[in-house]
């Protein structure tokens, strides 16, 4: 069976996405991005009678249609990884795809909240109702341990340890044990002991954070909570967590482990943020700055 057969394309794409979910442990959003990137590539090929390995024409097509460089680079990675899997895992006898260089993009520094600002925001979140306690526990955990949203939604009651740490299942099903701050641990215990039971039903399983219908809280709901409570996005809290650790003297390798980054260069961006903030503080505070 060849990859120019549409029914076989659909079959092999679905197998690959199942591999990403069950073996690699990728989040639903990541898998959806892969699906979109790969399916649109094959749609383009089928409409233009192009060969699957002629990716350069597709990149030119994207550029002509004003796709952002970051989007084009993501699509290149998605498509390349898919064909690499086809060759290595499925042993398909396919022609090598020419390696495409990613497009150069301006590195955008992540949005970082100052320690005084985020602490002030956290301290002003009320904690008298079920939702308020849940929301504060969610945000405290995000800032305390630097979790990804997908990691937070999948937390189970069994993942909380007596030594004030939390077990996290990250990308690629890699487990890491992360500490929690005193405040995060206190608010989480308050949620688990006094409030979570109000949402529990037959759909809850052992998930820590639940929606009002008792099911595991969704990633979209987490994003809504963080936006409404802090005026920012969950990933900004993760950036803030990493930067504050480095500002406090933490080793880059330690921060890499806590974030669950496989490649140290992914963590390296936070050193640039810290240096930028250090320079700004220096200019503000030095008498001759």
Instruction: Residue 83: name the closest of 120, 55, 112 by CA.
Output: 55
Q: Which residues pair with 165 in a beta bridge?
A: 161, 179
- What one-character-per-residue DSSP string does 49-101 give? T--TT-HHHHHHHHHHTT--HHHHHHHHHHHHHHHHHHHHTS----PPPPPPP
| Separation CA 269–CA 14 (nearest Å) | 34
| Separation CA 120–CA 144 (nearest Å) | 15
Catalytic residues: 148, 171, 235, 238, 261, 270
| Separation CA 117–CA 273 (nearest Å) | 17
* Coil, helix or strand at residue 171: helix
| Helix residue spans in the chain (DSSP H) | 6-22, 28-48, 55-64, 69-88, 115-124, 130-145, 149-153, 182-190, 219-230, 234-247, 252-259, 264-285
Q: Which residues pair with 176 in a beta bridge?
A: 168
Residues 6+ apart with CB under 8 A from 99: 80
Strands 160-161 and 165-169: antiparallel
């Amino acid at each position: 069976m060849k990859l120019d057969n549409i029914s076989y394309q659909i079959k092999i794409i679905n197998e690959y996405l199942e591999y990403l979910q069950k073996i690699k442990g990728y989040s639903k959003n990541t898998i959806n991005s892969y699906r979109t990137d790969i399916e649109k590539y094959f749609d383009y090929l089928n409409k233009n009678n192009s060969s699957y390995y002629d990716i350069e024409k597709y990149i030119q097509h994207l550029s002509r249609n004003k796709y952002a460089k970051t989007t084009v680079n993501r699509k290149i990675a998605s498509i390349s990884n898919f064909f690499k899997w086809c060759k290595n895992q499925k042993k398909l006898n396919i022609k090598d795809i020419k390696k495409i260089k990613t497009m150069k993009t301006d590195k955008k520094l992540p949005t970082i909240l100052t320690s005084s600002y985020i602490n002030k925001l956290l301290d002003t979140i009320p904690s008298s109702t079920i939702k308020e306690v849940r929301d504060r526990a969610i945000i405290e955990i995000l800032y305390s341990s630097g979790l990804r949203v997908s990691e937070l939604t999948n937390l189970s009651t069994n993942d909380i340890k007596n030594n004030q740490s939390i077990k996290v299942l990250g990308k690629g099903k890699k487990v890491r044990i992360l500490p929690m701050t005193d405040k995060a641990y206190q608010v989480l215990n308050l949620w688990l002991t006094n409030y979570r039971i109000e949402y529990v039903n037959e759909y809850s399983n052992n998930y820590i954070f639940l929606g009002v219908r008792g099911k595991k809280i969704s990633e979209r709901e987490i994003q809504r909570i963080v936006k409404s409570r802090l005026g920012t996005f969950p990933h900004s809290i993760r950036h803030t967590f990493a930067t504050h650790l480095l500002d406090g003297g933490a080793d880059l390798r330690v921060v890499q482990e806590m974030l669950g980054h496989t490649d140290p260069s992914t963590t390296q961006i936070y050193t640039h943020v810290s240096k930028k903030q250090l320079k700004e503080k220096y200019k503000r505070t030095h008498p001759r700055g």
